[in-house]
Amino acid sequence: MSKLPETSTDPYQWLEDVDGEQSMHWVQAQNLKTEDRFARSDSFQQIKADVLEMLDSDSNIPHVDKVGAYYYNFWMDAAHPRGLWRRTTLEEYRKPQPAWETLLDLDALNAAEGENWVWHGADYLRPDYQRCLLALSRGGADASVTREFDLATRTWVEDGFQLPESKGGLGWIDRDNVYVFTDFGEGTMTRSGYPRIVKQWQRGTPLSAARVVYEGRLDDMYIAAMHDDTPGHERDFVSRTLAFYNNELYLRGSDNQLRKIDAPNSAEKSVYKDWLLLELREDWALDEVFVAGSLLAIRFDRFMAGQRDFDVLFAPTDSTSLAGFFWTLNHLVLNVLDHVKNRLSVLTPGANGWQRSEFTGAPGMGTVYASAVDSDDSDAVWLVTTDYLTPTTLSLAEIGHPPEVLKTLPAFFDSSQHMIEQHFAVSRDGTRVPYFVVRGKDLPRNGTAPTLLYGYGGFEYSLTPHYSGEVGRAWLSKGGVYVVANIRGGGEYGPRWHQAALKQNRPRAYEDFAAVARDLIDRGITSPRYLGAEGGSNGGLLVGNMLTQYPELFGAIVSQVPLLDMQRYHLLLAGASWMGEYGNPDEPEEWAYIQTFSPYHLFDPAKAYPPVFFLTSTRDDRVHPAHARKLAAKMIDAGKDVTYYENIEGGHGGAADNAQAAHMSALVYSFLWEKLSVSRG
């Protein structure tokens, strides 16, 4: 059993002071070095201009949400860097250049208020949809300010609901009541930095008069409540999230009594009209064993009465997992991954059980994202189809009828000479790990192709093919090979794939990624000198471990908004909410394995490492910027090849607007081309 190191011995802990004078002086000095090194070249300027042109292009698809009679969109371009919130009709939306009604101009709002607001979304009030609760973030942080907005007058509601900046939010109950879950003062937030208490707040009363609905524990993750406003099925729920994939759901009665939805905490629970759906993440033994990854259905009233006669709507196989599901007016649509490729099916409840059919008109190749247009009103479905080389297409489909193509992204690069392959690497324990390769058709197998390997491997999140003009122009068109690894920890094969890399098994994700790197080398696609690795957030931790544990496999590493100090991650911002994923470093028996994948502690100044680029954001209030700061500083002081850049705005996404995003992308690709190009020494 390893002894937990004393944190007082950390000479770089001062960099955890986010806005401190000493910390920011260090950040500004590193940013200046990086700008001087990369941002002055013609190639940087060209990449930045190319990326910004694509991000600001009027040809981008304006994705919409149908709310009442209108279709709402949030749009950013060169003239509106912080964006326009706007709406139109379906008739207009079908046109190549729809006419939009602007509801709120964030750039104008920022100028008027002297703020740096970033859009965080809108919550619309049924049934007339005349009021909204708008969430705005300063600089892109997770924390937001919420205000009430009048859609009829396009103005803020005087003396309307307003919530100060905090993680949490407001949710409509009716016109004069909302649920509020926020920072109510000392002791009202969880150790993860999220709301511990939810209250009901009545219009015209001070926030201090709001009535407690539910109070969670300090070591819970997140407490919230929501009103189901489905016509004819109105009801209220309280959600208690203990950790990722560990939650309790309660039905709230008119007397404020709570009845637990008595299903496993690990199951995702959703109630829609007459139905309760349970997505299992662990086997559940009742009269029969329902396997992890299954989707179960039962009438909600029957379940609450104690019945357990479930219909199994989906059960996983060795190659399939449930990527998602949604309701339309009369149907349930399942999105299934089969070896990381999507297919849709339609289930229809009836007197004789559930009828199944394939989704008419769904493409057979590439990634398919699907969602209901308006589940209260129709069986219409939005279909978004994409792959690495095919520009994204948005279609409107009525179930049972061919889809109508509404919008198509332009081809931002010439992909005619490229191809997509799927291969499988064999990891250390014999597991076959899928990965996608996007390469030139005539790629010589001499090991000299600059290759960028991307991965994530955490929180049951799946990496599926998608079109990126940025990758196409800045990497593929210049002769690079792009690779995406579907390693364990992700959700590509459902809960089992995720759970295979939890806590003490986390190194399996890193072994998978290293196996993909070796497979690329064995195939002659690249070699360590020309192979780069990139990842962000949990993926930043992934490539941090490539840097410290597998340095011989890579010629460059890009670690974005990363976790790196796994001894203190749970003490920094939202870190405590991830202990179900990584473990608790305060427990010596858990620190014993956590320290084996903590890059900050694995770094050895005597070892040789590939060049590394750390990127983060001062306004990231989810993953603390100190993770990147501290390892960068430690490596710089040891004389290693380190590049560092910290965007002052941006939140966990890294950038607050398109110009910032283009600037950071250009820095990354300039770094990668310098380190991985054939022409380098």
Catalytic residue numbers, as ranges = 537, 652
Closest CA relative to residue 201, chosen from 250, 168, 234: 168
For residue 323, the 8-state DSSP code is: E
**Which residue is listed with tokens 């471990």?**
545
Q: Calculate the alpha carbon distances from 9 to 14, 200, 347 in Å.
A: 12, 46, 59
Q: Which two tokens stand for residue 478?
A: 């210049």
**Residues 294, 297, 303, 308, CA torsion sign:** negative
CA dihedral 139, 662, 120, 271 (to 10 degrees): -140
Q: Which two tokens stand for residue 641?
A: 């090849």
Can you name the residues that pair with 458 across neighbouring β-strands? Answer: none
Rounded to whole angstroms, the Cα distance separating 223 from 219 reads 11
Instruction: Determine contact, residues 379/329, Cβ cutoff 8 Å.
Output: yes
Q: Calculate the alpha carbon distances from 555 to 143, 289, 471, 538, 674 in Å.
A: 37, 48, 19, 21, 11
**What are the phi and psi torsion angles at 579 (to 5°)?**
-65, -25
Rounded to whole angstroms, the Cα distance separating 294 from 621 reads 35
Q: Which two tokens stand for residue 137?
A: 């973030």
Q: Which two tokens stand for residue 668?
A: 């990354």
Q: Which two tokens stand for residue 204?
A: 């015209």
Distance of CA 466 to the CA centre of its chain: 14
Which secondary structure element, helix H or strand E, spans residue 536, and what is its range?
Answer: strand 531-536
Rounded to whole angstroms, the Cα distance separating 97 from 308 reads 52
Q: What is the CA radius of gyration of the chain?
A: 25
* DSSP class per residue in 52-109: HHHHH-TTS----EEETTEEEEEEEETTEEEEEEEEE-HHHHTSSS---EEEEEHHHH
Q: In which region does residue 63 sit, left (phi positive, over 0), alpha (psi from -120 to 50) or beta (all else)?
A: beta
End-to-end CA distance of the chain: 46
Give alpha helix (H) positions in 556-598. 579-582, 588-594
Instruction: Determine contact, residues 580/244, Cβ cutoff 8 Å.
Output: yes
Q: Which residues contact 183 (CB under 8 A, 6 or more apart)?
A: 164, 166, 167, 168, 189, 195
Can you name the residues that pair with 156 across neighbouring β-strands? Answer: 149
Which secondary structure element, helix H or strand E, spans residue 351, and what is its range?
Answer: none
Instruction: Determine contact, residues 660/618, Cβ cutoff 8 Å.
Output: no
Closest CA relative to residue 249, chosen from 257, 261, 258: 261
Instruction: Determine contact, residues 630/616, Cβ cutoff 8 Å.
Output: no
Closest CA relative to residue 226, chosen from 213, 236, 214: 236
Which secondary structure element, helix H or strand E, spans residue 253, and what is its range?
Answer: none
Altogether, the residues listed in the chain come to a count of 681
